[in-house]
Amino acid sequence: MSCQPRADGRLFEIFDGCVNDDIVREVYELLKDRYNFTWYLSELSVGEASEQEIFDPHNLHFWNHTFDIENVPTPCDCTIKRLYDAMCEEFHKRTGKKVTSCARAYANGQHTGMNGLVHYDGRTDVTLLYYPMMEWHPNWHGETLFYNESFESKEKSAAGATDSPCASVLPRKNRFIAFDAKIFHVGMAPAPLYKGLRVSIAFKVYVE
């Protein structure tokens, strides 16, 4: 599945079923491996402007794990590097844009009640956002919401994203989104019906 570009020309595409099934399974199994994968309770995922200018994030948290896909020092990082390479290849095929480097790679985990804050993703060009769950029911919610406003249009203030969301994307097995890093968005927590973590894996990348 591919969405058409936004009206303002900014990149926003959904990729379904594009990653090899073996990698999909490997990533899923990694996230369940309590010996080789550890969640840390860290600052809530907010963009540069919203963190520095708008919000005090000290009491706002997600479960988080940061990956090192440049040096790949652990088997965990190797698995995520394979996922990253597969996503970059598909992104290049679909858009004609080549990923040149990754500034940051990490997983966010959200329980019920751990809603994010509306934010943009900073100084990189594109965010690649992958959902690693093997199944997801619409009644579990946990959508990623996107807004029409961009960073430049709102004088560097996340509080400017006041319109209703222009897109709502549910997690789905083997789905990732590629979007302009300056588009305001927010990851919503799962509904109480879902007892686990709603997980997303983000790669903040530069492209040419």
User: What is the pLDDT at residue 45?
Assistant: 60
Q: What is the pLDDT of residue 141?
A: 97
**Residue-level length of the chain:** 208
Domain ranges of the chain: 12-207
Given this model, what pLDDT does residue 193 score?
Answer: 95
The per-residue pLDDT for 123 is 86
Is domain 12-207 annotated with CATH 2.50.20.10?
Answer: no
As averages over each run of 10 residues, the pLDDT of the chain (208 residues) reads: 55 96 97 87 57 46 90 94 98 97 95 88 93 97 86 49 80 97 93 95 98
Identify the pLDDT of residue 52: 43
> Whole-angstrom Cα distance, residue 68 to residue 76?
9
Closest residue by Cα to residue 131 from 178, 190, 200, 62 = 200
Q: In what helix (H) or strand (E) does residue 15 lie, and over which residues does it extend? A: strand 12-16
What b/e sequence results for 144-167 when a residue is b if at least 16 CB atoms lie within 10 Å of its CB, and e otherwise?
Answer: bbbbbbbbeebeeebebbeeebeb
The predicted structure's pLDDT at residue 4: 46
pLDDT of residue 60: 58
